[in-house]
Amino acid sequence: MEDTASALADGEKLVSPDEEQTPYYGSIKTSLSPARSSAARSTASTRRPAAPAENWAAAYWALIVGKRVNVMLIFLPLAQMAVSFGWGDLSVFTLSFLAMIPLAALLGDLTESVAGHVGQTAGGLVNASFGNAPELVFAVQALRANQVRVVQASLLGSILSNLLLVLGSSFFAGGLFSGKKEQLFNRVSAGANTSLLMMATLALFLPCHIASYHTAYDEHVLVISRATAVGMLLMYAQLMLFQFKTHPHVFAEEEDDDEDDDDVDMPLACAITGLAGVTLLVALWSEYLVDSIDGFTQATQLSTTFVGIILIPIIGNVVEHIVAVTVAIKDKMELSMGIAVGSACQVSLFVVPSAVLLGWAMDVDMTLNFPRMEIYIFLVVVLIVSHMVGSGSSNWLLGSMLITCYLMVALAFWFEHVTMYSTSQDRQDVGP
């Protein structure tokens, strides 16, 4: 009783053992969010608040020094120097590529900070909108340069990287170092995600099939791509309603309290300003990256397809890759699944159709007519992952299989040199 009175005097909230704590679904971490948008953070309603920063400058500084990856911000001025002094496309691409990695991490941290201020549902929508902002900003810059093939390859590469490399590494590391031979996760939410990925596969197959009877840029291909994109975004909106309103219990997961110690208590205006500023930096360095791709591929003899599918996704996925493996080792496979499969689902249902509609607005013929080989690989990968997560358990051997699949896909794309679309007239042999 004395402990109870003391707790009440200190203003602490007492929760009975039978009282169910309502999880915070403002972060879309379970089904859709990448790690950089708080996939490995605990619920906002129960997390321990960090000490507030005295001012904006202190808050930004705490945010920057809070993660080791931010040491790579040194590449920002180096990339700018490479552009200003004409060091060549190879240097510009390499330095801009390295600079984009910490920018993507900062964008995710600021997104989470904003989401934590605006409430449960609005926070989920913020994470849904900005969770994959680096991919979307890069897509806009590539469309501006009429690099449709780069946009297609980078978005598909992000999906494949999450489903094979990130998820595979999580299964592998968790199976070996978590202390458990089998790790369990919610197969209901995993099944919902893989079903949505199957729908995304159909959305890519239809324009490809229509294109086999028309030219690549035929009006019919554009119409079906844009109509399908609208349908996918409507499906995404329904998923938001399903997750945040009607069936939030399906996506409940365990917490990761360790992440709270590094949180920065940032005022909302400070977080929004920082989010806008970092987004502008991402846009600028994405422009450098896009403008130097052609020169980079010529200098390295790598194909545009390989750069888009294998290299570009590293920018957004390297941080979430590390977090996914870390939480898997802690035996928090539900979080790890949310990072990997959830991020792939978000790119498929939100970023890809958004890129199509943005291309329409920019008068660029961005379609869903991906090369056939890429659609087949996407379909097979989704089937493999669906089969693996159907049991609700994982082990290191399953992880090794997924990693091996990713390496085989990377090798295949090393030798595939598709410049635009899947017809034989649009193929061009370049690179090694």
pLDDT in tens, 418-432: 554 433 334 444 443
pLDDT of residue 14: 43
Task: Please give the domain boundaries of the chain with CATH numbers for all domains.
Answer: 24-43+55-426 (1.20.1420.30)
Positions of the chain with pLDDT lower than 70, given as ranges: 1-54, 119-121, 124-125, 128-129, 214-217, 250-264, 417-432
* The pLDDT value given to residue 252: 60
First to last CA, the chain: 76
Euclidean distance between CA atoms 203 and 197, whole angstroms: 10
The answer to whether 111 and 275 have CB atoms below 8 angstroms apart is yes
CA–CA distance from 300 to each of 90, 148, 150, 335 (Å)?
8, 21, 16, 38
Query: Under a CB-based contact definition with an 8 Å cutoff, are residues 324 and 339 in contact?
Result: yes
pTM of the prediction?
0.81
Q: 196-206 pLDDT, tens per residue?
A: 999 999 999 98
Query: What per-residue confidence (pLDDT) applies to 10?
Result: 47
CB 408 within 8 A of CB 160: no
For residue 130, the model assigns a pLDDT of 75
The pLDDT value recorded for residue 337 is 87
Q: Please say whether the beta carbons of 37 and 248 come within 8 A.
A: no
| Nearest CA among 367, 332, 428 for reference residue 42 | 332
Residues in the chain: 432
Segment holding 63, helix H or strand E: helix 56-65
